[in-house]
């Protein structure tokens, strides 16, 4: 058993100071961290409990129509906030498609951003993994890798980022608020997660001791609410991480697409913003051919990292279908199987009403 200190600071400043020590880790819900500790994948020497820090569990609706989400807001509470779900339906749909109800009740917004890859070789301490032990190699390269990355991967790491929540957030230009020893700073979520390169052990832009205090969606993001969807293909619909997922959001103006937002999940070590596809859609008339061309642009740089060439075509189809669903309009209620290809889009199992 790994012996560690347990610290329960009273303020954000105290938390940052405590977590700046080598070997420290923040503890919120622990839905990912505790699993990693039990498996010996990570062995912190100090846990800094942030669950009772003041002001981090609030959902604040901003004057410009945006929203500020405290890092300790629980996933379920955010997804079921009716005002939030109306204005950012794709984000609510993504939240409700992740994990199980029990985990959504515990997991936090900040922790969701920082969850580690679910690559089996990362979790197997007997396997070579450059994320766990830099320079040891990547056993996934010659192993079971059908679910691994097809965008942004390197010879040192082909893992993917597991978050559903982050995918529509990246598409909608979310910003991360970070507190550190030098004070508070902000960073676009699109720049928060790092691609592996030759240093896959560095997963985010956080410096030692820095704490995510909030996420912020701009008011402009709410302008997509009438035509925004999240679609997730997974091997077990009830509870599994995405093989491929996509967030698609459109602003329609007189029968043409005024603006489009697209991001992919399950394809890289970060949520993947598809800017080339967005540009291809601007000014176009919605339709199958236009959406397929945008999907081709979205996967233009994709290449297999192993036995996973199928994911490239699957991702094209997921983007095409997500755009088709978005163009048809956000449903009145989130479906009983949120973000699933098997959902009708009109079922009422979740009880969330994006547009009432």
Q: Note the pLDDT of residue 221.
A: 98
253 lies in a domain?
Answer: yes
Find the helix or strand (DSSP H, E) in which 62 lies.
Answer: none
Q: What is the mean pLDDT of residues 17-45?
A: 97
Residue 148 clears pLDDT 80, i.e. is over it: yes
Residue 1: pLDDT band (50, 70, 90) is confident
125 lies in a domain?
Answer: no
321 lies in a domain?
Answer: yes
Q: What is the mean pLDDT of residues 137-144?
A: 98
Domain span holding position 281:
226-328
d(CA 62, CA 4): 40
pTM summary value: 0.96
Q: What is the mean pLDDT of residues 270-278?
A: 98
146 lies in a domain?
Answer: no
Residue 206 clears pLDDT 70, i.e. is over it: yes
CB 271 within 8 A of CB 91: no
d(CA 97, CA 79): 10
Q: Over the stretch 48-88, which tens digit does the pLDDT of each residue have?
A: 999 999 999 999 999 999 999 999 999 999 999 999 999 99
Q: Note the pLDDT of residue 344.
A: 63
Dump the DSSP string for 233-285.
EESSTTS--EEEEEEEEEEEETTEEEEEEEEEESSSSS-EE-HHHHHHHTTPP
Q: 306 Cβ partners below 8 Å, 6+ apart? A: 140, 141, 142, 143, 145, 146, 148, 158
Q: Note the pLDDT of residue 351.
A: 42
CATH of the domain at 280: 3.30.390.50
Q: Note the pLDDT of residue 67.
A: 98
Q: State in Å, rounded, how far the first CA of the chain is from the last one.
A: 52
Q: What is the mean pLDDT of residues 195-223?
A: 98
252 lies in a domain?
Answer: yes
Percent of the chain with pLDDT over 90: 93
Residue 350 clears pLDDT 60, i.e. is over it: no
166 lies in a domain?
Answer: no
- Determine whether 124 is exposed, middle or buried from the number of CB atoms within 10 Å of its CB (0-12, 13-18, 19+): middle
260 lies in a domain?
Answer: yes
Average pLDDT of the chain, as a whole number: 95
Q: Over the stretch 280-306, which tens digit does the pLDDT of each residue have?
A: 999 999 999 999 999 999 999 999 999
Q: 214 Cβ partners below 8 Å, 6+ apart? A: 56, 68, 69, 70, 71, 176, 177
Give rounded-to-5 percent helix, strand, coil for the chain.
30, 20, 50
Residue 355 clears pLDDT 90, i.e. is over it: no
Residue 334: pLDDT band (50, 70, 90) is confident
Residue 336: pLDDT band (50, 70, 90) is confident
Q: Note the pLDDT of residue 353.
A: 47
Find the helix or strand (DSSP H, E) in which 153 lies.
Answer: none
Q: How far is CA 31 from the centre of its chain?
A: 15
Q: What is the mean pLDDT of residues 299-321?
A: 98
301 lies in a domain?
Answer: yes
d(CA 166, CA 188): 12
Q: Over the stretch 210-231, which tens digit does the pLDDT of each residue have?
A: 999 999 999 999 999 999 999 9
Residue 349 clears pLDDT 80, i.e. is over it: no
Q: What is the mean pLDDT of residues 165-194?
A: 98
CB atoms within 10 A of CB 137: 15
Residue 272 clears pLDDT 80, i.e. is over it: yes
The total of structural domains in the chain comes to 1
């Amino acid at each position: 058993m790994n012996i560690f200190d347990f610290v329960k600071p009273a303020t954000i400043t105290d938390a940052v100071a405590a977590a700046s020590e080598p070997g420290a880790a923040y503890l919120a819900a622990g839905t990912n961290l505790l699993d990693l500790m039990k498996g010996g994948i990570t062995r912190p020497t100090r846990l800094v409990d942030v669950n009772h820090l003041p002001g981090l569990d609030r959902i604040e609706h901003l004057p410009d129509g945006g929203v500020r989400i405290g890092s300790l807001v629980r996933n379920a509470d955010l997804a079921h906030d009716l005002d939030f779900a109306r204005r950012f339906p794709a984000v609510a749909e993504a939240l409700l498609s992740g994990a199980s109800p029990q985990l959504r009740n515990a997991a936090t917004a900040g922790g969701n951003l920082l969850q580690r890859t679910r690559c089996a070789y990362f979790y197997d301490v007997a396997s070579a993994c450059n994320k766990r032990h830099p320079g040891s190699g990547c056993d996934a390269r010659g192993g079971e890798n059908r679910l691994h990355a097809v965008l942004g991967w390197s010879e040192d790491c082909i893992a993917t980022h597991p978050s559903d929540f982050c995918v529509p957030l990246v598409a909608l230009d979310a910003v991360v608020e970070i507190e550190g020893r030098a004070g508070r700073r902000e960073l676009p979520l699109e720049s928060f997660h790092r691609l592996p390169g030759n240093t896959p052990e560095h997963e985010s832009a956080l410096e030692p001791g820095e704490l995510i205090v909030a996420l912020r969606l701009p008011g402009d993001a709410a302008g997509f609410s009438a035509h925004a969807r999240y679609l997730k293909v997974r091997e077990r619909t009830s509870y599994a991480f995405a093989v491929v997922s996509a967030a698609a959001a459109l602003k329609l103006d007189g029968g043409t697409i005024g603006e489009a937002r697209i991001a992919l999940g399950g394809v890289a070590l970060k949520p993947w913003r598809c800017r080339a596809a967005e540009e291809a859609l601007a000014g176009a008339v919605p339709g199958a051919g236009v959406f397929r061309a945008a999907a081709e642009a979205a996967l233009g740089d994709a290449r297999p990292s192993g036995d996973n060439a199928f994911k490239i075509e699957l991702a094209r189809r997921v983007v095409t279908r997500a755009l088709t669903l978005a163009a048809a309009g956000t449903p009145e209620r989130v479906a009983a199987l949120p973000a699933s290809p098997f959902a009708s889009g009109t079922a009422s199992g979740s009880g969330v009403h994006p547009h009432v």
